[in-house]
Chains A and B, each alone.
Chain A
């Protein structure tokens, strides 16, 4: 998780608190009041009977019913029960105290793992009683989406998430990796070749701008959650793992079809996107618990492939009493489930343990573990469960992985990837191919999520060259998935994002050759008004000009001046350099203050998730994007707050593109809600669909 996303998570927690505070104003009144009813609905929150239904489920998909009830002052809640369409729900209702500070006397009633088989809109009524015999009711709604039987079913779903990948990210990757001349693209991205396209609206349950947790969870559950939450609805407890759950695609397909689940990412595997596909928590930052839950609940999710970075969550905090610097495991972000939750969902519980050898436990459960690309390539063809942890946290970006393979050194006299201590990392396409090899052994099919994570992370950091290269890497993984689907016809491949990041667009191309650009950058033309630094973050005083006043106007070519940039490629199709003559130029509508040189920075900015980020050589990397190019860049004023957001670009509310290929692809067209992506995929899996 980068700084911006951590800030957003903190903001989300604040929003949760704010929402709770808002409803908490009600319990102070004398009335017995239902302050929250889950699943969330506009019927409950606004009283509107004509408002759209918020919570939607598959026939038989499990979810929790929950209500928070505030008693009249001086009384206590004695009973909470639920009815659906007027019929009592035959599930035990567990009563606990709300531990939100503003709801001290409130009770929370929860019925676990409810399911409804009947398509259509249903009313959910909660009846709450307090100790003087008085009662109150509240009504909400949810719907069951119909599945239409239509023919042959998609057995496999490969969901490819280019995190933060908007339309312009794809355009930039195409321009760089394929080229354009005389107005014609010189080739298509693999994702460009998919026959069906849609635009996806990305709002989360509590904001028009989603973060990656609900942005991915909606693809796995068909439902929206608050920013920072994964596979759950919000509640009124501080416990990060007790929230009302929604059964995800892995669990549903494992339970009903015997399918497998795979997660592949270039991020730390605890990161929001992979975790949102398989885990249930209200805090995307609870890395220890998230990674424990991967294994603990694998019998329920069907998880059989887990690859990416994030070894720090799998290493014991202490070995033989000695603290391990590369471990991030903590009791504080581990979990134990309420017994009624574990029983209701039929899942194994957890014992919080910072010193757990999670890799050992995976191996003990029959998983094959690989630690680097060499061992990934040597995996036995008979492998049916594969764990790959190739870095301590987020994997290195493709620019730096490729430079490592090409022997190109960074500022520390070795390839940048070596600075992170684990240089032998696979490319995303290699992980994708291996994941498919393992998962396809299950004749009942699989649900595989593949994430190009650093498209987003580097877009946050406004490091154009690195996110463009990672988009190209992601597209090569898309090509692997497409090749599989072209010979395994019962496969649906969906390529999309969770949100756009950066407000990015391709605004033109450099007027300069690479050599001339380097000369302009190395010989700045400062003006008299410029920023001053406090040594950590820049402090901007009054009108700010720039340390390299003429750079922008000398470099940025627009319209006719942009022409057609030309890149050259290695044998695998990756650009040999991101700094050719007349390279493309990127603008950030959602960017923060920064100093732009239009050149590849020798290192990425610091990744705060790396356990060794505070030690050399990683502590020598720029702590924020605003600390790059401070003496030779052109200062660009950001559109978003600086210090509070870590001087990073932000997610935007822009619709995102979706491309689909294979069985069920024709279901994707028009402008759709992000939750629709789930229901259309499940239509293909459960009801069947044609191939376009």
Chain B
């Protein structure tokens, strides 16, 4: 394929929105939630870890980090822990879960349903957090954990790399509509290739 066409295709592809629904209910209890993932999205437990300098000393602030030590995120039957009767759901009861995109996306829409139980409703922070590639918080919003089966949605966020699902609940369903964003390094590479191709074309014509 001619490079301008490839570039155009990439640009076109990057402008196409992806719509995905994570169907946890179709998985058996105890399955890894990643079996429900599509488009390269993965689930991982996450912790908010204090920032440190090179010597390990705290320097203030904290950053969300993936926590593989907690094992894989599982799909479970919420009723087994008293979280209401419903389909098998993503288990975030004991720890926040990161929804990790393979590349930054423009999140046109992110939505889901909480489990149908009343447990997990202690009025402590339950923030849905959207992170950029460098882990800075793009946006956060408090979810309604006091309403069984609550629906939540967030729209129009740019350069999202991870979404942190607050703990204390099962997530019966998650879905998103997103547009992949070109990574800056990829764009630079494409630009360099284009430039090289143009220079080469000009030199050939001579």
Binding site for B on A (CB under 8 A): 58-60, 115, 117, 147-153, 155, 252, 256-258, 443-444, 490, 686-688, 690
A253 nearest in chain B by CB position = B122
Given A153-B94, A153-B95, A444-B82: A60 and B123 interface contact (C-beta under 8 Å):
yes
Say yes or no: is B104 at the interface (Cβ < 8 Å to chain A). Answer: no
A687 and B96 alpha carbons, distance in the complex (Å): 10
Q: Is B5 an interface residue (CB 8 A)?
A: no
**In chain B between 123 and 165, which residues have their CB closer than 8 angstroms to a CB of chain A?**
123-125, 127
Given contacts A115-B123, A147-B125, 4 further A-B contacts (CB under 8 A): A59-B122, A59-B124, A256-B120, A687-B125
CB distance from B167 to the nearest CB of A (A): 7
Residues of A within 8 A of B124 (CB): 58-60, 147, 149, 686-687
* Given A59-B123, A59-B124, A688 and B95 contact (CB-CB distance below 8 Å): yes
Contact of B119 among A150, A152, A258, A690 (CB under 8 A): A258
Which residues in window 43-88 of B have CB below 8 A to A?
Answer: 45-49, 62, 67, 70, 80-82
Residue of B nearest to A686 (CB): B124
**A151–B46 contact, CB under 8 A?**
yes
Question: Could you give 24 example pairs across A and B, Cβ below 8 Å?
Answer: A58-B124, A60-B122, A115-B123, A147-B125, A148-B125, A149-B96, A149-B167, A150-B49, A150-B62, A151-B46, A152-B47, A152-B94, A152-B95, A153-B95, A155-B94, A256-B119, A256-B121, A256-B122, A443-B81, A444-B81, A444-B82, A686-B124, A688-B47, A690-B47
CB-defined contacts of B82 to chain A, threshold 8 Å = 258, 444
A258 to B80 alpha-carbon distance, docked (Å): 11
Query: Quick one: which of A58, A147, A256, A490 has the most chain B CB within 10 A?
Result: A256
Contact A149 B119 (CB under 8 A): no
Which 6 interchain pairs have the tightest Cβ spacing? Answer: A151-B47, A117-B123, A256-B122, A147-B124, A60-B123, A152-B95
How near does chain A come to B190, taking the closest CB pair, in angstroms?
38
B167 cross-chain contacts in A, Cβ below 8 A = 149, 153, 688
Q: Which chain B residues lie closer than 8 Å to A690 at the CB level?
A: 47, 49
Of the candidates A256, A258, A490, the one whose C-beta lies within 8 Å of that of B94 is A490
Tell me the complex Cα distance, A252–B121, Å. 11
Please tell me if B180 contacts chain A, counting CB pairs below 8 Å: no
Q: Are B123 and A149 in contact (CB under 8 A)?
A: no
**Are B45's CB and A152's CB within 8 A?**
yes
Q: How many residues of B contact A (CB 8 A)?
A: 25
Chain B residues with CB below 8 A from A152, complex form: 45, 47, 67, 70, 94-95
**B47, B70, B124, most chain A CB atoms within 10 A:** B124
Given the known interface contacts A59-B122, A59-B124, A688-B95, the answer about A258 and B81 at a Cβ–Cβ threshold of 8 Å is yes
B122 CB, nearest partner CB in chain A, Å: 4
Question: In the bound complex, what is the Cα–Cα distance between A152 and B64 (angstroms)?
Answer: 12
Known: A258-B82, A688-B47, A690-B47. A149 touches B125 (CB 8 A): yes
Q: Which chain A residue lies CB-closest to B80?
A: A443
Q: How far is the CA of A8 from the CA of B205 in the complex (A)?
A: 104
Chain A residue with minimal CB distance to B46?
A: A151
Shortest CB-to-CB span from B199 to chain A, Å, is 51
CB contacts (< 8 Å) of B70 on chain A: these are: 152
Q: A256-B122, A686-B122 are in contact. Are A151 and B80 (CB under 8 A)?
A: no
Tell me the bound Cα distance from A258 to B122 in angstroms. 11
B-side contacts of A258, CB under 8 Å: 81-82, 119
CA distance A688 to B45 in the complex (A): 12
Closest-CB distance, A439 to chain B (whole angstroms)? 15
Q: Closest B-chain residue to A442, C-beta based?
A: B81
Across-interface contacts of B127 in A (CB, < 8 A): 149
A149 to B122, CA, bound (A): 13
Chain A residues with CB under 8 Å of B119's CB are: 256-258, 444
CA A58 – CA B124 in complex, angstroms?
9
Among residues of A, the one whose C-beta sits closest to the C-beta of B62 is A150
Q: Nearest Cβ in chain A — how far from B84, in angstroms?
A: 11
Closest to A444 in B: B81
Q: Would B166 and A257 count as touching, CB distance under 8 A?
A: no
A444 to B80, CA, bound (A): 9
How far apart sit A687 and B94, CA to CA, in the bound complex (Å)?
10
The smallest beta-carbon distance between A15 and chain B, in angstroms, is 35
Answer whether A150 and B47 are a contact pair too, CB < 8 Å, given A256-B121, A257-B120, A444-B119.
yes
- Given the complex of chains A and B, what is the CA–CA distance between A58 and B122 in angstroms? 9
How far is it, in angstroms, between the C-alpha of A290 and the C-alpha of B122 when the chains are bound?
Answer: 28
- Minimal beta-carbon separation of B77 from chain A (angstroms): 11
Least CB distance, B51 to chain A, in whole angstroms: 13
- Complex: how many Å from CA A252 to CA B123? 11
The B14-51 residues at the A interface (CB cut-off 8 A) are 45-49
Could you tell me the distance in whole angstroms from the C-beta of B1 to the nearest C-beta in chain A? 46
B38 nearest CB across to chain A (Å): 27
| Measured CA separation A148–B125 after assembly (Å) | 7
Complex interface: chain A residues within 8 A of B96 (CB): 149, 151, 688
A490 to B71, CA, bound (A): 13
Q: Which residues of B contact A688 (CB under 8 A)?
A: 47-48, 95-96, 167
CA of A258 to CA of B48, assembled, Å: 25
Picked from B45, B48, B94, B120, the residue with its CB within 8 Å of the CB of A150 is: B48
Contact of B67 among A58, A151, A257 (CB under 8 A): A151
Docked complex Cα distance between A687 and B166 (Å)? 10
Residue of B with least CB distance to A115? B123
Residues on A with beta carbons closer than 8 Å to the beta carbon of B45: 152
